[in-house]
């Protein structure tokens, strides 16, 4: 894990091409995290690739409800040479949840971005095939958002159908 100085050096390199690209840096729970503006995610990940973080391990969504800029996209990068990881975060509002897709440069992000779109509703602009991957195409809503209603349809198994007759009424 990079110490504070190494993290600030990485953040400076990430933000060198675009003024104000880096929103925040933090070492949390033993992990280096760099938060960038949504429009800077492509160049930030590319810059980190040149620094040795060549593997995009995961892309996942986060809902910070009730905070503003409530939806987040988290990119986990790995450097095998340095034996190190770095987290890059982007936050967007629920009203305008658009983030540029990184699939063109990081093909492994394809299904990850589709899952974040499906579960959280973050739209990845420029994604080659952005559609639901886990839920049915006609499903309404995004089930991993914190304000999604809890409940749903009962799951009926053969043994519970006898104990719960008329469950469909």
Q: What is the CA radius of gyration of the chain?
A: 19
How would you label 149-169 residue by residue, b for 16+ Cβ within 10 Å and e otherwise?
Answer: eeeeeeeeeeeeeeeeeeeee
Fold of 4-163: Beta Polymerase; domain 2 (3.30.460)
Q: Which one-letter DSSP state was computed for residue 105?
A: T
For the cut 90, the answer to whether the pLDDT of residue 103 exceeds it is yes
For the segment 67-90, the average pLDDT, to the nearest whole number, is: 95
Per-residue pLDDT, 102: 98
First to last CA, the chain: 56
- Residue 98 — pLDDT band, cuts 50, 70, 90? very high
For the segment 150-160, the average pLDDT, to the nearest whole number, is: 65
SS3 label, residue 10: helix
What is the pTM (predicted TM-score) of this model? 0.86
């Amino acid at each position: 894990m990079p110490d504070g100085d190494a993290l600030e050096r990485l953040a400076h390199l990430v933000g060198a091409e675009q003024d104000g690209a880096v929103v925040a840096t933090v070492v949390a729970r033993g992990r280096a995290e760099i938060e960038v503006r949504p429009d800077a995610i492509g160049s930030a990940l590319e810059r980190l690739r040149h620094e040795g973080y060549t593997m995009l391990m995961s892309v996942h969504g986060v809902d910070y409800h009730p905070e503003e800029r409530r939806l987040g996209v988290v990119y986990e990068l790995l450097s095998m040479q340095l034996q190190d990881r770095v987290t890059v975060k982007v936050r967007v509002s629920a009203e305008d949840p658009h983030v540029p897709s990184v699939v063109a440069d990081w093909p492994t992000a394809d299904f990850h971005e589709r899952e974040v779109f499906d579960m959280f509703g973050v739209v990845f602009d420029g994604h080659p095939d952005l559609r639901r991957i886990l839920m049915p195409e006609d499903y309404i809503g995004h089930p991993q958002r914190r304000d999604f209603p809890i409940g749903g349809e009962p799951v009926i198994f053969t043994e519970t159908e006898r104990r719960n007759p008329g469950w469909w009424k």
